[in-house]
Chains A and B, each alone.
Chain A
Amino acid sequence: MSTPSPKEPLGRQDLAHLARLARLALSDDELDHFAGQLSAVLDAVAQVGKADTADVAPMTHAVPLTNVTRPDVVTPSLPRDVVLAGAPAAEDDRFRVPQILGDEE
């Protein structure tokens, strides 16, 4: 995966790498199934390369707006209990998360 080459189908290994980057634990079946589908989609979207864009600036936004600010004042936050009620796990008025550091770290 060094240079863009739409002719080259997306391999199973590339897909597994992208899935890791995106934090998706894909099954073997999914890897097989998606590899073909995504190669076809990539072929189609690679057509953007046909456009002559030598002097064209990218458009990041439909409506150009800059420096949207608001007054720097304190406003009420959502109640902690209400927010934690929607969390998968909470403890001591905080989100409880799984282990982040390894045993050896």
Chain B
Amino acid sequence: MADPQDLTTLDAAELGRRLAGGELSSVELTRAYLDRIAAADGVLGAYLHVDADAALARAGEIDAARAAGEELGPLAGLPIALKDVFVTEGVPTTSGSKILEGWRPPYDATVAARLKDAGTVLLGKTNMDEFAMGSSTENSAYRPTRNPWDPERIPGGSSGGSSAAVAGGLAPWALGTDTGGSIRQPAAVTGLVGHKPTYGSVSRYGLIAFSSSLDQAGPMARTVLDAAVLHEAIGGHDPRDSTSIDAPTLGLVEAARRGAGGDLAGLRVGVVRELGGDGHTDGYEDGVLARTRETVALLESMGADVREVSCPSFDLALPAYYLIAPSEASSNLARFEGMRFGLRVGDDGAHHLDEVMSLTREQGFGPEVKRRIILGTYALSAGYYDAYYGQAQKVRTLITRDFTSAYDDVDVLVSPTSPTVAWLIGARVDDPLAMYAADLCTLPASLAGLPAISVPCGLSDGLPVGFQVMAPALADDRCYRVAAAVEAALDSARGHRLLDELDRRAATAGAQA
């Protein structure tokens, strides 16, 4: 008989084996997670919506199907959490905003439908920065989420509910979305694996849009292998997304398994000077740079051919991103006008349509969303368009050129995932530029549409540090291979997973309290 405490720390691959082997029922597993949510989410605030009855009913259906001898896929019966940016039929979806409070979407996002068809059990919808705008989840209109490693600190953002849930044992794995780093940075600061797929390789149909040319859904998991399995389950062409690439998502699980073997002979690795290298260390914590250097040395010890590469245009990634993303957001968020869904304010017969729209948006949006809408409106204005939005789009071309010439000489590029470990809640909340700096290392791959993964590479001051691996378009398998090699080598040297240290610390804190 499995101990329910263990079930909430095991990886999804092991849980899947136990389900398939009949040692564990989906109801038993789902109940273990619901119990952990009931016990811990009051503090962590990882979820915006949990429906225990629906989850248990779904788990019961899967168990019954298995008992009846039906052919089930490898994900059948595994619980999962979805960031609240994915629309889910009949299940409340807010994108972290008051403007959508109480809205129940009439359809499923493609990735949500694929996971449903695969037999997964939806535990709930996770907290996020409002409309995915933020790096700390403090911009949620509902409540902040806390980091399971230290509840006084942020869990990263904008997919901070997903990161806190998976790291804290409130879900075995989860989906996030990444526009400028919103999967990778929260994964990094909570000790998880998080992957942003090649733009266009995972459907955006049913994602509440923030910045359409950048948004991409991806996995957040406890292991590289779990992330690869989840990525393969959601990836692939979707005719409902006109930017979807018509190519299958294959070979990721195989790459993760191969990488774990630890042989990187012949792999050419470029260390990006502009992301924490010589002359570019402002804002980077020493501990983060030390873990990064050690991980690069580890790659070398596994046979990789490591060299430094320079990508000078990366210095302009942050200003370009904070023009492009707000511009696209100001356009996308025009749909929230209080007429077809969500909040409506001031409809008392005395106010005209325009006034009702303005009052609705004033009350329904939080400060960061308003700041970005105004910034985007400004950047797209006549007379400013060429100098701001147009110029940012040209910088995007320069960044892509830097990547292209780097990949002439190397197979992957590496860097820290974020310049710092998790900071204290409140520390950057009223300083937008300080908040934006958390995205420094993740923005270049976002702007170029390239795949990038964050894998845990140790602790600094007792808090997790992430190592980023970037690859050319549609070469996501390289990210998984290198990340798996790092994970396997560090786990083996340590004797356990990094996340296992969180469990012991949490237990100690509990005992002291």
Footprint of B on A, CB under 8 Å? Answer: 1-4, 10, 15, 18-27, 30, 33-34, 37-38, 40-42, 44-51, 53, 56-63, 65, 68, 70, 78-79, 82-83, 85-89, 95, 97-100, 102
Contacts and interface: CB of A to CB of B under 8 A. Distances in A.
A4 B340 contact: no
**9 tightest Cβ-Cβ pairs between the two chains A and B:** A62-B449, A58-B393, A88-B344, A53-B394, A25-B358, A4-B387, A25-B362, A62-B199, A59-B396
Contacts of B339: 87-88, 95, 97
Interface of B: 103-107, 198-200, 213-214, 239, 242-243, 245, 313, 316, 318-320, 322-323, 330, 334, 337-344, 347, 349, 351-359, 361-362, 365, 367, 370-371, 373-375, 377-379, 381, 383-384, 387-388, 390-398, 400, 430, 432-433, 436, 447-450, 473
Given A61-B213, A99-B353, A41 B375 contact: yes
B449 A63 contact: yes
B397 to A, nearest CB: 4
A84 B322 CA distance: 36
Given A56-B398, A97-B353, A87 B340 contact: yes
A81 B15 CA distance: 40
Given A51-B394, A56-B397, A98 B356 contact: yes
Nearest to B373: A22
Given A18-B381, A86-B341, 11 more contacts: A3-B383, A22-B361, A22-B377, A23-B358, A51-B395, A53-B398, A58-B390, A59-B397, A88-B344, A98-B353, A99-B353
Contacts of B433: 40-41, 44
Contacts of A99: 349, 351-353
Given A23-B358, A25-B358, A25-B359, A45 B473 contact: no
Contacts of A1: 381, 383-384
Contact of B370 (A26, A68, A78): A26
Contacts of A2: 383
Contact of A30 (B370, B375, B436): B370
A1 to B, nearest CB: 7
Best-surrounded residue of B107, B362, B367 (most CB of chain A within 10 A): B362
16 contacts: A3-B383, A22-B361, A23-B334, A23-B354, A25-B361, A26-B370, A34-B374, A37-B430, A38-B371, A47-B316, A51-B316, A57-B397, A62-B200, A63-B200, A63-B243, A88-B339
Contacts of B213: 60-62
Best-surrounded residue of B214, B320, B334 (most CB of chain A within 10 A): B320
Nearest to B348: A98
Contacts, number: 195
A78 B344 CA distance: 22
Contact of B340 (A10, A48, A95): A95
A102 B352 CA distance: 8
A16 to B, nearest CB: 10
Contacts of A95: 339-340
Contact of A58 (B362, B375, B397): B397
Contact of B107 (A53, A78, A100): A78
Contacts of A4: 383-384, 387-388
Nearest to A58: B393
B243 A88 contact: no
Contacts of A25: 355, 358-359, 361-362
B337 A23 contact: yes
Consensus secondary structure, chain A interface: loop
B374 A44 contact: no
Nearest to B337: A23
Contacts of A79: 106
B319 A44 contact: yes
B66 to A, nearest CB: 32
A19 B107 CA distance: 32
A51 to B, nearest CB: 5
A33 to B, nearest CB: 8
B349 to A, nearest CB: 8
Given A58-B393, A83-B106, A37 B330 contact: no
B397 A24 contact: no
Nearest to A33: B367
B323 A100 contact: no
A101 to B, nearest CB: 8
Given A22-B374, A48-B388, A57 B394 contact: yes
Contacts of A23: 334, 337, 354, 357-358, 361
B342 to A, nearest CB: 7
Contacts of A60: 213, 393
Given A58-B394, A65-B243, A15 B374 contact: yes
A45 B397 contact: no
Nearest to B450: A62
Contacts of B373: 22, 24
A18 B293 CA distance: 46
A53 B395 contact: yes
A24 B239 CA distance: 35
Contacts of B243: 61, 63, 65, 68
B393 A51 contact: no
B449 to A, nearest CB: 2
A37 B391 contact: no
